[in-house]
Amino acid sequence: MFSYIKSQSQISNEDGIELKKISDALFIENEKLIVHYDKPLGTGVCSAVYRGFLSGLAPLAKLSSLVETQKFRDCEVAVKHALHFGDHEVEQLFREIEAMRILEYDRNVISMLGWRMINDKPAIVFELAQEDLLRYIKMQRLKDKKEIQFKTIISILWQIAQGMEFISSKNIVHRDLAARNVLLTNDFQAKISDFGLAVINNTGIKETTLIKKFPVRWLSIEAIVEKLFSEKSDVWAFGVLMFEVFSLGQDPYAGIETRQILGFLRSGERMSRPELATNEMYEMMCRCWEENLETRPKFEELVAKLHDVLEGESGYSKYYEELELLQNQEGSGPSNVNNSEALEVLDDNSL
């Protein structure tokens, strides 16, 4: 696999040596991984994810000196199996391995435990989570609004902000932060996943090799116009993720065509307050959507503010009272519609 990655990716000899060292150390032997193809967890355009079982200690745990990684032994796992192995899959695999090497472990980032080749295509092994955040919040539509646990929602958002603060501290820009790319465990531990579009310092990948499909509806103005990505563009995406959560999975900019989004944003317009968001939460979203990236908060600030809300036990009873008041003033909230493609071509001619 390494030879194929090196031939397809524009990396220096020094970076290539480091990549080979890490990829070799993360290799999982055939007999240690069982893939349950009868237990699919999800299927996409480029890959399918299956439940599996890893015997022995995971390669990540062998590489890491952290105590937290030692739990990855004789455990159920998620196996992401590439359906194709072209340039896009090579680049994504390179980025995921490199991101894992830099991040190592954080409780709010999904852990890549190792990899192997299956039928001449790469399979990446991750720790197992229960479901993705988008599916979870859509399921909340079936409940009465007063049955939705505000504290759980704020806890999930706080954990995501913590994970993103950790990621940005490692000089990594995720570029695809969205509810669909946050996984939840049984005890509602949030884990950020999918680093296939991540920008990682000193990877040696030239920008000319980047694919042109991006999650346009989650992008900041400067990302759309200037292709400028930073922690602050991830903060913008976090604001969109908050919108997804408080609208119970409504599609961002529902009813607006992709080519109209930039004009909508540049005119000063922003998405309206979703039905389950209090004024405090909506104000936080709007701060994430400041056109001037310098005035947007950093993840460190968002973590602190969400923690304050989480600690304010007395606020939960008032939460429902405020929502009821807001809804009486404004009428019914937006419809829950989600039918757009997440990744769209970022083309100057179409925006």
Token readout for 95 is 């980025």
The predicted structure's pLDDT at residue 217: 97
Condensed to tens digits (0 to 9), the pLDDT of residues 161-219 reads 999 999 999 999 999 999 999 999 999 999 999 888 888 874 444 444 445 578 999 99
Strands, E, within 4-111: which ranges? Answer: 33-43, 47-57, 73-82
Chain length of the chain: 351
The predicted structure's pLDDT at residue 341: 59
Instruction: At 56, give phi and psi (nearest 5°).
Output: 80, -170
The predicted structure's pLDDT at residue 191: 97
The answer to whether the CB of 55 falls within 8 A of the CB of 32 is yes
The answer to whether the CB of 72 falls within 8 A of the CB of 57 is yes
Condensed to tens digits (0 to 9), the pLDDT of residues 255-307 reads 999 999 999 999 999 999 998 999 999 999 999 999 999 999 999 999 999 99
The answer to whether the CB of 218 falls within 8 A of the CB of 178 is yes
Residue 234 annotated among the catalytic residues of the structure:
no
The answer to whether the CB of 132 falls within 8 A of the CB of 182 is yes
pTM given for the model: 0.87
Please state which CATH number belongs to domain 2-127. 3.30.200.20
Q: In CATH terms, is domain 131-350 a member of 2.40.50.100?
A: no
The predicted structure's pLDDT at residue 82: 77
Condensed to tens digits (0 to 9), the pLDDT of residues 85-133 reads 776 666 677 777 778 778 889 999 999 999 888 887 778 899 999 999 9
Q: Report CA-CA distances (Å) from 196 to 92, 292, 339.
A: 4, 27, 22
Of the residues 176, 194, 234, 251, which is catalytic?
Answer: 176
Selection from 108, 160, 168, 107 nearest residue 134 by Cα: 160
The 3-state secondary structure of the chain, one letter per residue: CHHHHHHHCCCCHHHHHHHHHHHHHCECCHHHEEEEEEEEEEECCCEEEEEEEEEEECHHHHHCCCHHHHHCEEEEEEEEEECCCCHHHHHHHHHHHHHHHHHCCECCECCEEEEEEECCEEEEEEECCCEEHHHHHHHHHHCCHHHCCHHHHHHHHHHHHHHHHHHHHCCEECCCCCHHHEEECCCCCEEECCCCCCEECCCCCCHHHCCCEECHHHCCHHHHHHCCCCHHHHHHHHHHHHHHHHCCCCCCCCCCCHHHHHHHHHCCCCCCCCCCCCHHHHHHHHHHCCCCHHHCCCHHHHHHHHHHHHHCCCHHHHHHHHHHHHHHHHCCCCCCCCCCCCCEECCHHHC
Whether the pLDDT of residue 35 is over 50: the answer is yes
The mean predicted confidence, pLDDT, of the chain is: 84
Lowest mean pLDDT among 21-25, 68-72, 122-126: 21-25
The answer to whether the CB of 222 falls within 8 A of the CB of 110 is no
Residue 333: partners with Cβ closer than 8 Å, 6 or more residues away: 247, 274, 275, 276, 327
**Domain parsing of the chain, residue ranges:** 2-127, 131-350
Count Cβ atoms below 10 Å from residue 155 Cβ, excluding itself. 18
Mean pLDDT score, 316-337: 60
